[in-house]
């Protein structure tokens, strides 16, 4: 397939690119700084662009069959709307170019999965460190849910840099109210790519942890 990866310089985004190429997909990666992509491939096209500037990413949507969004940032403490504004532009770009399939990563602990990241996140990390970040992720989810796209929102537990196992739990029941469940970025990427071959979780949210 021809796939557009948003957020390709992040750790999950890099896994999406590498695993997607290994599966034989044609990958276009939109990144703000192309120098951060440290590898090349005959099926990889890197486009410099910023999701907050629609004109800079419009070309990237042309001819794509699906969009994999791993958009993120490190502005946790201050109030931010980067994720929601960027996602709004992604949805508009997809609609304009006839791209209908969107698979986007957010997190457990958001909207109807609230409290499912365990007590440590529920009582400390989210309210005191990630409050604005999670608030923006919530807005991001709602924009996707209210779109006319064929979307899937993937909500991982605490992300790690562990190896790809390809054995994990996924579904609406995933997560824990007391314990913080984890999942590697490699396995999140593996799951997101697997969703391209099925209509399971179409227009649904899905949690993923070990």
149 near 101, Cβ under 8 Å?
A: yes
Cβ contacts of residue 86 below 8 Å, gap of 6+? 6, 51, 52, 71
* Cα distance between residue 77 and residue 90, in whole Å: 25
Contact 83, 73 (CB under 8 A): yes
Question: How distant, in Å, are the alpha carbons of 68, 75, 77 from that of 135?
Answer: 21, 13, 12
Q: Structure pTM? A: 0.96
Q: What is the pLDDT of residue 13?
A: 97
Give the relative orientation of helices 82-97 and 131-145 as an angle to the nearest 10 degrees: 20
Which residues have a Cβ under 8 Å from the Cβ of 152 and sit 6 or more positions away?
102, 103, 104, 195, 201, 202, 203, 204, 205, 206
Residues 6 or more apart whose Cβ sits within 8 Å of residue 198:
none
Q: Tens digits of per-residue pLDDT, 9-23?
A: 999 999 999 999 999
Predicted confidence at residue 76, as pLDDT, reads: 79
- State the burial class of residue 134 (Cβ atoms within 10 Å of its Cβ: 0-12, 13-18, 19+): buried
d(CA 184, CA 187): 5
For 2-107+133-174+182-209, the fitting CATH number among 3.40.1110.10, 3.30.920.30, 3.40.50.720, 3.40.50.2300 is 3.40.50.720
pLDDT, residue 75, reads 80
What are the extents of the domains in the chain? 2-107+133-174+182-209
The yes-or-no verdict on residue 164 having pLDDT over 80 is: yes
* Residue recorded with tokens 């192309």: 34
pLDDT at 188: 98
Q: What is the pLDDT of residues 22-64, one digit of tens each?
A: 999 999 999 999 999 989 999 999 999 999 999 999 999 999 9
How confident is the model over 165-208, as pLDDT tens digits? 999 999 999 999 999 999 999 999 999 999 999 999 999 999 99
Find, among 82, 86, 90, the residue nearest to 149 by Cα: 90
């Amino acid at each position: 397939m021809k796939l557009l990866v948003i957020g390709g310089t992040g750790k999950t985004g890099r896994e999406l690119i590498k695993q997607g190429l290994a599966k034989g997909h044609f990958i276009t990666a939109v990144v703000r700084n192309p120098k951060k992509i440290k590898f090349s491939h005959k099926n990889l096209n890197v486009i410099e662009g910023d999701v907050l500037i629609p004109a800079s990413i419009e070309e990237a949507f042309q001819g794509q069959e699906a969009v994999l969004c791993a958009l993120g940032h490190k502005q946790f403490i201050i109030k931010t709307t980067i994720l929601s504004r960027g996602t709004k532009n992604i949805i508009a770009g997809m609609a304009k170019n006839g791209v209908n399939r969107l698979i986007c990563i957010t997190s457990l602990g958001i909207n109807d999965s609230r409290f499912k990241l365990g007590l440590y996140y529920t009582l400390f990390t989210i309210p005191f460190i990630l409050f604005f970040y999670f608030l923006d992720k919530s807005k991001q989810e709602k924009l996707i849910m209210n779109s006319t796209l064929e979307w899937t929102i993937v909500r991982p537990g605490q992300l790690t840099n562990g190896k790809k196992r390809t054995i994990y739990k996924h579904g609406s029941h995933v997560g824990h109210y007391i314990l913080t469940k984890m999942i590697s970025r490699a396995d999140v990427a593996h799951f997101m790519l697997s969703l391209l071959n099925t209509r399971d979780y179409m227009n649904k949210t899905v949690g993923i942890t070990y």
